Amino acid sequence: MSALSSHREAPWPKSIFARNLTRRSGILELMDDLGEAMTTGRGELLMMGGGNPGHIPAMQAVWRRRMRELMENEAAFDSILADYDQPAGNPGFRKAVAALLNREFGWPITARNIAITNGGQTAFFFLMNRFAGDFEDGSHRRVLLPLVPEYIGYADQSVSRDLFTARRPKIELIVDHSFKYHIDFDRLDITEDVAAIAVSRPTNPSSNVLTDEEISRLSAIAKQRGLPLMIDNAYGVPFPGVIFEDVRPVWDEHIILTLSLSKLGLPGTRTGIVVAREEIIDEMSAINAIASLANNNIGQALTRPLMENGEILQLSHEVVRPFYQEKSDFALNQLRASLPDDLPWRAHKSEGAFFLWLWFPGLPISTRELYQRLKARKTLIIPGEYFFFGLETEDWPHHRECLRLSYTQSEDTVRRGIAILAEEVIRAFQEAEATQPG
């Protein structure tokens, strides 16, 4: 039974903070279903919706090697487990990350520009609520999402009122059942209540990668308006490198960049990395101290030598990226084999991350209903409606015609899951056609 269906209210009144963070949400449903699929449902549920990294043998061998090396140094290993680190993260690890980014991209940063959080999700919870929400002067400010769909994990992070304002994308139709989102700069409309701009690159859920030109233009707009530009780089370059386009990351004094170790195959270490101007890093350290005292030590210890010698870049380029590129290609081929050519369907151009973003124009049922039909057949996807927050969507059918499908599981799981998905989509269209008069 999922967290949504078993949810019960506590008998005591809730603060606004509690109301916002305990309500039923897409991320709660996603993580509950993921946990069920990975534990009690293993072998029975086809988990096609979650973002758990694939188990890459070559990467797992690296982490086992590094764990053995740590254990052989008893003093260091005992310190990792038994000592708190600084609230901003381990000084040596922060220095190693800063040096890597300086060598690779020439960014003028030091360890003072790096903070560690308990995962990228936590980093954005801190950042979103630092820049937006209710202010002492009575104003309410929001984060602009220049393009949705956007990451489901942002949607319910507000500790006050609504945190986001979003804009519809331009949709480029591409041959062979493909399409791609672009920022519609003509309709960006940065209102006075916008406190920050946020994007993910690659974007979860759509795998969309904002082009270098789009990022450059967005950065210039943010800088001109005196706004921070937050870029979620959880899947991007230089690591973990789950990005299939040739782009370069950017950083400047007005840019806040986040990185993560999760998609390298270390989600259990909960290690997020924030790259920002020193004042923001000081604030992240202060929030860390209040919210959690210190961060998880293990991920930093495991990867520090790889940051120092550059092996992290080699692994990202030569192991991680090809692994997911192959899985993406396989899933796309399964879709083309399973969905009739005359059925109205499109897949967003696969540019990175762990997902295919599917669009069924004119789908007779919402993807929430499709989700329930698939779940009854032990196949789990994520309905698209969850990803269009911050936007009025009543007059835009697109938001209820899309879904996110993960391709990180085994080929057998992906093959079976896509076959069941295709059957249910075809059935939905056939049922609608059968009810048409005449």
The pLDDT tens digits for 165-198 are: 999 999 999 988 999 999 999 999 999 999 999 9
Peptide bond into 240 cis (omega under 30): yes
Query: Do 234 and 143 share a structural domain?
Result: yes
The answer to the question of residue 70 being in a domain is no
Q: Is residue 73 part of a domain?
A: no
- What φ, ψ does residue 197 adopt, rounded to 5°? -120, 140
Angle subtended at Cα 134 by Cα 28 and Cα 231, rounded to the nearest 5 degrees:
60
Q: Are residues 208 and 344 in the same domain?
A: no
Residues 303 and 325 grouped into a single domain: no
Residue 391: inside a domain:
yes
Q: How far is the C-alpha of 361 from the C-alpha of 402, rounded, in Å?
A: 8
Q: What is the CB neighbour count within 10 angstroms for residue 85?
A: 21
Are 121 and 260 found together in one domain? yes
Instruction: Specify whether 308 is located in the same domain as 273.
Output: yes
Compute CA distances 249 → 205, 213, 245, 317, whole Å: 20, 12, 12, 15
Q: What is the mean pLDDT of residues 12-35?
A: 67
pLDDT of residue 11: 77
| β-strand pairing of 402-406 with 382-383 | antiparallel
* Residue 384: half-sphere exposure toward Cβ, Cα within 13 Å: 26
C-alpha 63/C-alpha 316 separation (Å) is 14
Q: How many domains does the chain have?
A: 2
Statement: residue 2 has pLDDT above 60 = no
pLDDT tens-digit map of 308-353? 999 999 999 999 999 999 999 999 999 999 999 999 999 999 999 9
Where residue 417 sits, what CATH number does that domain have?
Answer: 3.90.1150.10
Whether residue 62 lies inside any domain: the answer is: no
- CA nearest to 190, candidates 143, 252, 151, 234: 143
Q: Within a 13 Å sphere around the CA of 120, how many CA atoms are in the beta-carbon half? A: 22
Q: In angstroms, rounded to a whole number, what is the distance separating the alpha carbons of residues 215 and 249? A: 9
- Is residue 10 included in any domain, yes or no? yes
- pLDDT exceeds 80 at position 211: yes
Q: Distance (Å, rounded) from C-alpha 417 to C-alpha 54?
A: 16
309 and 336 share one domain: no
Q: Is the pLDDT of residue 41 over 60?
A: no
The last residue of a domain, from among 314, 342, 369: 314
State the residue range of the domain holding 407: 3-55+316-431
| Among 314, 336, 360, residue at a domain's last position | 314
Both tokens of residue 343?
């059925």
- Within a domain: residue 90? yes
Q: What share of the chain is helix, strand, coil (3-state, %, to 5)?
A: 45, 15, 40
**Domain final residue, candidates 297, 314, 331:** 314
